[in-house]
Amino acid sequence: MQHRLTDFLKESVLVEEKRLIEQIVSQHKPWIEGCIEVGYVIVPRQVVIQVGEKTDDLIWVRIHPNYSAKIRIGWPLLIYDLIRNEYIAGVVSAMGYDIEDPQVYERESIYPRVVLTSELIKYGDFEFLEHLPVYGVEPICTLRNENGKMRRGSINFSPHARAPVFLPPNHIILKVLGLPEKGIPYGVIMVGEDLAIDPTTGQYLVYRLRPFLLFEHELVLGSTGKGKTSKCKNDIFWFIKWLNGTVIVFDLHGEYSMISEDPMEEYKGKINDLEINIWKAINAKPTKINDVVVWFWVPASESNKYRDKSTKHVKFFSIKFNEIPPNELQYYLPALSPQGYYVLPSLIREFRREGGKTLEEFYEWLQDQKFERKRVAPATLYAIIRRIASILEEDIFDGVLPDISTDQIFVPGRVNIINLVHVKSQIARRIIVFHVINKVASVKLRDHQNKLPCMMLLIDEAHQFFPKKVKDRDEADYIDRAVRWMARICREGRKFQLRVEISTQSPEDLHPEVIKVVNTITFLGCTLSQAKALENVMNPLPVSKKDLINLETKQAIIWSRDNAKIPIKILIPWPLLKHPIKKKEE
């Protein structure tokens, strides 16, 4: 009698549980429109042959054969929980095989089948194609319906077995990844080697950056030929088009002056339909910058030749020693000792009170002075004199030409190219770059009423100006000062709409403090040694080394903490400003 009662109670509980589940399921139905059902959740006993960097805390799903061949690492998927009426959104981060029947897999069989695949096909045995892989989905967030509005939430439950799996439409993918639907288009989102396409509309899914993040600064990393210059030219295009700001480019290789030319004259017949469709997706067409000014620094001894050579679009300038504030000379006179930097401003002020102007005059004045030991130690004075002597040999200061004009730089829609191709000395290049940055930053960082246009500083080959390793101890101190000064400009520049974009082909040689001041990092293809070096600098590295070394030209992975929840792979469109075409794009 007791057993009968127990069985009856168990059966009653099961019946009631089944009734409740039927009631819940009848009320809860998938509510996101535009999705395509492609599979379901499974609970494997064991998963082998895992592929992917991260395989913990994954939800394993089986995909219908019609879609299995299309699913790759990185695909976004939605899992609908019928009980909770919520979706779990994530991306495929691993693949493997579900071991429920080990005999299915020949390597675990006692008598492995050694029949060739071609023989199986010949006799119509296609059973091997039924054993499809399973996919591990790494959860990102939940999506729930609150009074008709979709809300993102944290992952706090696991979906039930056989929960349906969907391919989401574009606007849902953006919601899952935390990307904006409006903003500056950087390129088309890629999943694996495929461009992400809305399953319902067939439109490309565009990666867009929130405009305010432009002023959180960006670092562009990648090996030679992977598309850094293409990416930077596109960024110039969008900065002018969206913000009508002013741009300063430090050009070491003469690659930017051509942006004043119409690119379509060169592109005709050389750009394939893929590029054209990408331009349509981002709502842009290659054009030219109408207002481009190329600035050339001229050595002091040659400046007289260029006194009347400046034109509307080409200008020549010198650096005036007398116009540099004493406290800022630490960025102009490299390799001084810490004691030299400390006493230098007071010496400069005294020199100028006596009517001195040029660096050469200051050099001679120092040699004629008899300073008290407690003010300037003889060793420090000798070090300053020696350092200035080497700078004088570079012929950097005090030409007859006027200095670069900030009034002519701060013009809306203007791109100012500081051409450094002819400057062979590393010391001279650094001083020129630091001088221009100092000139414009000192003006822009006092623009409290935003009367000046927003500004973008594009520093190409940044590892030459902010190197990680310097052999000379005094020069290392100079670089550390320059890095701290640049970090301060970046931090203060955010509220004054001053954007800094840094590009380098040698990320392993770039000072790590520079990397810390940026919010957005664009990774283009790297070598294995570069990827390992980045892992040492960025701990943890936000993308896998394997992904970095496998990126093709113009493919990039963007990690912008405040723009997306995870790093996103994109295809960068061919430059919107003129760029040499070396070969027809595949």
Candidates 331, 470, 340; CA nearest to 396 is 331
What would the pLDDT profile of 268-289 be if each residue is shown by its tens digit?
Answer: 777 888 888 999 999 999 999 9
What would the pLDDT profile of 366-420 be if each residue is shown by its tens digit?
Answer: 998 888 888 888 888 888 898 899 899 999 999 999 999 999 999 999 999 999 9
Burial string for 42-57 (b: 16+ CB within 10 Å, else e) reads: beeeebeeeebeeeee
Burial string for 265-298 (b: 16+ CB within 10 Å, else e) reads: ebbeeebeebbeebbebbebebbbbeebbbbbbb
Q: Say yes or no: 136 and 43 in one domain.
A: yes
Whole-number Å distance between alpha carbons of 74 and 92: 5
Q: Say yes or no: 408 and 272 in one domain.
A: yes
SS3 185: strand
Q: Say yes or no: 499 and 382 in one domain.
A: no
Q: Which two tokens stand for residue 238?
A: 């969008």
Mean of per-residue pLDDT scores for the chain: 87
What would the pLDDT profile of 143-196 be if each residue is shown by its tens digit?
Answer: 999 888 899 888 889 999 999 999 998 888 888 888 998 999 999 998 878 888
Please list the residues that pair with 250 across neighbouring strands: 418, 459
Is residue 336 scored above 80 in pLDDT?
Answer: no
Residue type at 191 in one-letter notation: V
Q: Identify which has the larger pLDDT, 115 or 332.
A: 332
Q: What's the length of the chain?
A: 586
H runs (alpha helix) in 141-254: 170-177, 228-243
Q: What is the pLDDT of residue 584?
A: 43
Residue 196: inside a domain? no
Q: Say yes or no: 304 and 372 in one domain.
A: no
Show which of 177, 205, 229 is a domain's final residue: 177
- The CA-CA-CA angle for residues 38, 40, 45, to 5°, reads 140
> CA 540, 545, 548, 551 torsion: positive or negative?
negative
Please list the residues that pair with 317 across neighbouring strands: 297
Q: Say yes or no: 314 and 439 in one domain.
A: yes
Is residue 563 scored above 70 in pLDDT?
Answer: yes
Average pLDDT over residues 315-334: 89
Show which of 153, 177, 201 is a domain's final residue: 177
Q: What is the pLDDT of residue 527?
A: 86
What percent of the chain shows pLDDT beyond 70? 91
Is residue 341 scored above 50 in pLDDT?
Answer: yes
Is residue 120 scored above 90 in pLDDT?
Answer: no
Q: What CATH number corresponds to the domain at position 281? A: 3.40.50.300
SS3 348: helix
Domain count, the chain: 3
Residue 193: inside a domain? no
What would the pLDDT profile of 19-51 be if each residue is shown by its tens digit?
Answer: 776 777 677 889 998 899 999 998 887 777 666
Whole-number Å distance between alpha carbons of 475 and 431: 13
Residue 145: inside a domain? yes
The domain in which residue 519 lies consists of 216-319+404-571
Residue 293: inside a domain? yes
Whole-number Å distance between alpha carbons of 44 and 21: 23
Whole-number Å distance between alpha carbons of 355 and 372: 22
Whole-number Å distance between alpha carbons of 507 and 518: 14
Whole-number Å distance between alpha carbons of 522 and 560: 8
- The CA-CA-CA angle for residues 458, 557, 560, to 5°, reads 65
Indicate the pLDDT class of residue 16, thresholds 50, 70 and 90. Answer: low
Residue 576: inside a domain? no
Average pLDDT over residues 429-436: 94
Is residue 583 scored above 50 in pLDDT?
Answer: no
Whole-number Å distance between alpha carbons of 101 and 306: 83
Q: Please give the DSSP secondary-structure letter assigned to residue 262.
A: -
Given the DSSP bridges, would you call strands 292-297 and 314-317 parallel, antiparallel or unpaired? parallel
Q: Say yes or no: 467 and 564 in one domain.
A: yes
Helix (H), strand (E) at residue 500: strand 498-504
Residue type at 406 in one-letter notation: T
Q: Say yes or no: 248 and 235 in one domain.
A: yes
H runs (alpha helix) in 200-337: 228-243, 264-267, 273-281
Q: Say yes or no: 266 and 339 in one domain.
A: no
Q: Say yes or no: 384 and 492 in one domain.
A: no
Candidates 94, 2, 86, 78; CA nearest to 34 is 78
- How many CA atoms lie within 13 Å of 62's alpha carbon, on the beta-carbon side? 14
Q: What is the pLDDT of residue 509?
A: 87
Indicate the pLDDT class of residue 102, thresholds 50, 70 and 90. Answer: very low
Q: Say yes or no: 93 and 171 in one domain.
A: yes
Residue type at 386 in one-letter notation: R
Residue type at 246 in one-letter notation: T
Please list the residues that pair with 248 across neighbouring strands: 416, 457
Token match 């999506």: residue?
143
Contacts of 218 (CB under 8 A, 6+ apart): 235, 499, 500, 501, 502, 518, 519, 520, 521, 522
Q: Say yes or no: 365 and 224 in one domain.
A: no
Indicate the pLDDT class of residue 224, thresholds 50, 70 and 90. Answer: confident
- Ranking 115-124, 298-307, 381-390 by mean pLDDT, the lowest is 115-124
Q: Which two tokens stand for residue 437?
A: 């940055």
What would the pLDDT profile of 450-480 be if each residue is shown by its tens digit?
Answer: 899 999 999 999 999 999 888 777 778 888 8
Q: Which two tokens stand for residue 220?
A: 């562009």
What does the radius of gyration of the chain's CA atoms come to, in whole angstroms?
A: 31
What would the pLDDT profile of 397-406 be if each residue is shown by its tens digit?
Answer: 999 999 999 9
Contacts of 213 (CB under 8 A, 6+ apart): 519, 520, 560, 562, 563
Q: Please give the DSSP secondary-structure letter assigned to residue 309.
A: -
What would the pLDDT profile of 525-558 be if each residue is shown by its tens digit?
Answer: 988 888 888 887 787 888 888 888 889 999 999 9
Q: For the whole model, what pTM was predicted?
A: 0.85
> CA 20, 21, 23, 24 torsion: positive or negative?
positive
Whole-number Å distance between alpha carbons of 167 and 75: 9
Show which of 337, 366, 398 is a domain's final residue: 398
Token match 């990126």: residue?
551
Residue 144: inside a domain? yes
Residue 584: inside a domain? no
Residue 564: inside a domain? yes
Q: Say yes or no: 31 and 169 in one domain.
A: yes
Whole-number Å distance between alpha carbons of 12 and 203: 53
Q: Answer yes or no: are the C-beta atoms of 206 and 278 closer than 8 Å.
A: no
Candidates 451, 207, 477; CA nearest to 331 is 477
Whole-number Å distance between alpha carbons of 370 and 376: 10
SS3 259: helix
Token match 């000062």: residue?
481
